[in-house]
Amino acid sequence: MLTKGPAKKVTIFVNEDTQHHLTALHESIMAFLMHKGVSGATATRAYSGFGTHQLLHTPKIEVLAQHLPIRIEFVELPEKVDEVLPMLYEMVSDGLIEVQDTTVVKFARRSSKPEPKLPHIRQAGPAKLLRVFMGEADKWHDEPLYDAIVQRLRMMEIAGATVYRGILGYGAKGHQHKASFFHPTRDLPIMVSVIDTPEKISAAAEVVEGMLEDGLIVISDAEIVRLVRSSQPKEEADATKLPG
C-alpha cells in the first residue's frame, strides 16, 4: 500500500489506437496495473500531440483523431514499480515510459465500509499553546497570510488551528485597527491559535516566524483535556498522551 514518503512516479505515453492482444493498449495497461494491486492510476486523452514520427495528431483532422496520445500515470512505492515495470516494458512496443523519483506528502483513502461506533476516550496532558497575531491584510505570496499559515500547519499534521478575527485592536506601532462604515474591510487584527505537543509547537513556531513580517508570536504552557472518538477499543487506547 502506498504510504507517505519516498516513491516513484511512472508516466506512460501511447497512442489511443495502439493494440495489445486485440485490446486497446491503454486499457490493457490499466487492467494490468489494477490486477497487480497498484494503489491507483489515471489515463487521460490528450487534445493533440506528436512523437518521434513527427506527425501531429489532432481531432481537427478526422483521420488523425484516432491516433491521439494517451497518458497513463501512477505513483507507487519503489519496490512495487520494480515489480510491474518489466511487464510494462514488454507491453509498450510503441510509446514512452518515464520513471521519476518523487515524494508522497499525503495519502488518504476513505474506507467503503461503515465505520463501527467506538467509544469516546479522554485525553489529557501537558501541551503548548501557540498564538500568532497579525493583520488581516498581511499577505504571503499574494494570498492571506493567516490562510497560508493554516495550510502549512495542516501539512505539518498539527492537531488543529483556529483563526480569530478581531473587531478592534492596536499593535506595537500604536495604530488602531477597526471596522467602520467608511472602512468596512480595513486591516483588522487576526489571531491564529494552535495547540499541540511541545515538539510540534516548536517546529510550527519556526515555520510561522519565517512567514511573518510584522506581527507577534506567543507560546504558553497549557494543560489539555480532550474528548475524542477512539480509533481502537477503549481498553487499548492510551488516554494520557496527546495524539502524535
Res 218: pLDDT = 96
Q: Which residue has the higher pLDDT, 8 or 58?
A: 8
pLDDT per position as a tens digit, 51-107: 666 666 565 555 444 578 899 999 999 999 999 999 999 999 989 999 999 999 888
Q: How much is the pLDDT for 55?
A: 64
Complete DSSP assignment for 133-165: EEETT-EETTEEHHHHHHHHHHHTT-S-EEEEE
CB under 8 Å to 36, separation ≥6 — which residues?
A: 80, 83, 84
**Greater model confidence, 50 or 171:** 50
CATH 3.40.640.10 fits 120-236, yes or no: no
pLDDT at 106: 84
Give pLDDT, residue 166: 87
Residue-level pLDDT at 224? 84
Q: How confident is the model at residue 164 (pLDDT cuts 50, 70, 90)?
A: very high
Q: Which of 134, 129, 141 is nearest to 222 (CA)?
A: 129
Topology (CATH level 3) of domain 5-104: Alpha-Beta Plaits (3.30.70)
Average pLDDT, stretch 23-40?
A: 94
Each residue's pLDDT tens digit, 103-129: 998 887 776 666 666 666 777 888 999
**Cα dihedral: 202, 204, 209, 211 (round 10):** 170
The Cα–Cα gap between 114 and 166 comes to 41
| For the chain, domain boundaries | 5-104, 120-236
Residue 235: what pLDDT? 47
